[in-house]
Structure 1
Amino acid sequence: MLQGAKAITCGENILHYGAGSYFVASVEVPVFGRISEASRQKPFLGVGFSFDARYIADLLIEMPDVHDPEFLCGLGVSPSDPQLEEAFLRMMRLLDRPNEISVMAPMIEREILFRLLQGPQGAKLRQIAQIDGRQSQVRRALAWIRENFTESFKVEDLARMTGMSASVFHRHFKAATTMTPIQYQKRFRLHEARRLLLETPGDATRVAFAVGYESASQFSREYGRLFGLPPARDASRLRAKTIVPMTSDASDDAMTSFERAS
């Protein structure tokens, strides 16, 4: 984060980060992202990178082995250090020297990854590179839920898919996402419903059935509990606020997004 501040809400957890800190996500989870500090004079400014797991794995071969905690949350925030900030700055300066990008960018990306792996969020990046790691197995279950979010499932079936017992799978899943599998599916359905309502305004009941709900009233109740307003009113409010004037006080609108590192 270069300027301003942001709050990320995932389940019951809220992560705050501002200038001089960075956010890492090793699993794809539905979150609310809210800019909590910005103004006309000092607008919100940040930069993001998506890393290929193969690059992380290649770098880990050359680094000493590290014993990481067994249960890891997939999201984390830490303060940056001068070496990491300097590497990011050199990467951004390549935008002014496009003829150097093909040669310099891979080397700087490798340095950024090295700094991150050495930092307090390094365990999350190491999990991304471990194909047979517990978090990798959880990501397999997350992908199945996202691809089949309208379908009912049993936790035992997901556990079997990942090669874990139901109890061990449940612990790793909740540690990584801060949610149970059923809660994750519900959040995903509601976020998908919000996207559909924004993109193609229409009947909330139709959207409820489209995302897997069997009861329109239950959908409306759970939607309002998560987003603060009934479906139609929430979608109308967000469409009306497509362009929000920047003020000294950040907006309290919580927008839907999915955070991940890949």
Structure 2
Amino acid sequence: MTGPAAPPLADASLLAATIARFAPVDGLRATPIAGLKLFRGSTPTEPTHCVYEPSLAVIAQGAKRVELADEVYEYRAGQALLTSLDLPVISRISQASPERPYLGLALTLDSRTIMQLAVEADLPPVREAAPRGLLVGGIDDALMDALARLVRLLDQPAAMALLAPLVQKEITLRLLIGPDGARLRQLAAAGSRGHQVARAVAWLKQNFAQTLRIDDLATRLHMSPSSFRLHFRSVTGMAPLQYQKQLRLQEARWLMLNSHLDAASAAARVGYESASQFSREYSRVFGAPPARDIAQLRKRAVGPGTSTEAAAHVA
């Protein structure tokens, strides 16, 4: 299944030139502006397992491919990927070269700001249906201009602290009044199905090592187990147990790679009681047993893209 992909709407060349100036080398660059990260890549990358936070990811040059469960989302310069809650995905840069590197940014979205602006702008109530938490779409000129102005504030440290939050609010408001604004409001509006799923995701992210009891979590959210399963899959593209498994395996991989835990210790840390079951499920997701996979990742990390791989855990 392929996610919807609208044609690019705005010229991204100015944003690309601005990002290139502030991200002169490959990899991830955190910035002094809260929630803003810049990316550069001179070659296509291997698929990377990571968890996308609620954010707007914009490509200024190049192209990217993101997989959520059995869905594929492809987007390129002038398009954005809107993520409205934490989702485990497989991501890779699909188009880049030394002459025309991949250039992009990610801006974290805040649910409280979303709802505050929705109220202030007197936007209509959200629909009851829970939408998918990932969407590819085009960017109009006004939103592209606001994004470029936000990045250019990195040149103005004296003004950045005061102006950056205002431009970020402008970007959020433009998303809310755009064609997909109801999607954001649905996942942030208290009492909506989407918001209930977002609360479940937040609980799973904090408690993924615990045994998941669907009935108990559904009760916590004031939903029936069947309704909870239905709406959770509608938003995330996967069942709650599958979502938990993805979080566990990605955390275990990160612990083995960065904290040098062995497979048995990492498995126990993330909630597996059986090391053999952990190894089977790990191999199924990452394509190799834990020890071999970690060795391959460390070997790959000595080449280009090290900082991109290291950032995958928090992307």
TM-score (norm 2): 0.74
Instruction: Give the structure 2 partner of residue 83 of structure 1.
Output: 142
CA–CA distance in structure 2, aligned partners of residues 103 and 203 of structure 1? 46
Residue identity over aligned pairs, in percent, reads: 43
Q: Is the 8 A contact 2:176 2:184 kept in 1?
A: yes
Alignment of 1:16-165 (within 5 A): 16-61=74-119, 62-68=121-127, 70-165=129-224
CA–CA distance in structure 1, aligned partners of residues 106 and 252 of structure 2? 26
Instruction: Give the structure 2 partner of residue 229 of structure 1.
Output: 288
Q: Is the 8 A contact 2:81 2:137 kept in 1?
A: yes
CA–CA distance in structure 2, aligned partners of residues 256 and 105 of structure 1? 25
CA–CA distance in structure 2, aligned partners of residues 76 and 69 of structure 1? 18
CA–CA distance in structure 2, aligned partners of residues 135 and 256 of structure 1? 26
Q: Residue 47 of structure 1 aligns to a residue in which SS?
A: strand
Alignment of 1:4-19 (within 5 A): 4-19=62-77
Question: Which amino acid is the alignment partner of residue 67 of structure 2?
Answer: T
Instruction: Give the structure 1 partner of residue 10 of structure 2.
Output: none
Deviation at 1:239, TM superposition (A): 1.2
Stretches of structure 2 that go unaligned for 5 or more consecutive residues are 1-58
Deviates more, 1:221-230 or 1:69-78: 69-78
Question: Which amino acid is the alignment partner of residue 250 of structure 2?
Answer: H
Change (3 A) 1:139 1:186: same
Change (3 A) 1:54 1:205: closer
Instruction: Give the structure 2 partner of residue 203 of structure 1.
Output: 262
Deviates more, 1:77-86 or 1:118-127: 118-127
CA–CA distance in structure 2, aligned partners of residues 67 and 192 of structure 1? 34
Q: Residue 49 of structure 1 aligns to a residue in which SS?
A: strand
Alignment match of 1:178 (pick from 224, 237, 250): 237
Change (3 A) 1:67 1:30: closer
CA–CA distance in structure 2, aligned partners of residues 2 and 224 of structure 1? 35
Deviation at 1:147, TM superposition (A): 2.4
CA–CA distance in structure 1, aligned partners of residues 312 and 164 of structure 2? 31
CA–CA distance in structure 2, aligned partners of residues 139 and 133 of structure 1? 10
Stretches of structure 1 that go unaligned for 5 or more consecutive residues are none
Deviations 1:199-224 (A, max 9, x none): 13343122222222222222111111
CA–CA distance in structure 1, aligned partners of residues 203 and 172 of structure 2? 28
Deviates more, 1:111-120 or 1:230-239: 111-120
Change (3 A) 1:67 1:192: closer
Deviation at 1:42, TM superposition (A): 1.5
RMSD of the alignment, in Å? 2.2
Change (3 A) 1:128 1:115: same
* Displacement over 4 Å in runs of 4+: 255-259
Change (3 A) 1:210 1:15: same
Q: Is the 8 A contact 1:159 1:165 kept in 2?
A: yes
Deviation at 1:37, TM superposition (A): 1.1
Question: Which amino acid is the alignment partner of residue 2 of structure 1?
Answer: A
Q: Residue 92 of structure 2 aligns to a residue in which SS?
A: strand
Deviations 1:112-140 (A, max 9, x none): 11221122331232134312222221122
CA–CA distance in structure 2, aligned partners of residues 244 and 38 of structure 1? 16
Deviation at 1:172, TM superposition (A): 1.0
CA–CA distance in structure 2, aligned partners of residues 63 and 7 of structure 1? 36
Q: Is the 8 A contact 1:31 1:258 kept in 2?
A: no
Deviation at 1:235, TM superposition (A): 0.7
Deviates more, 1:22-31 or 1:56-65: 56-65
Q: Residue 64 of structure 1 aligns to a residue in which SS?
A: coil
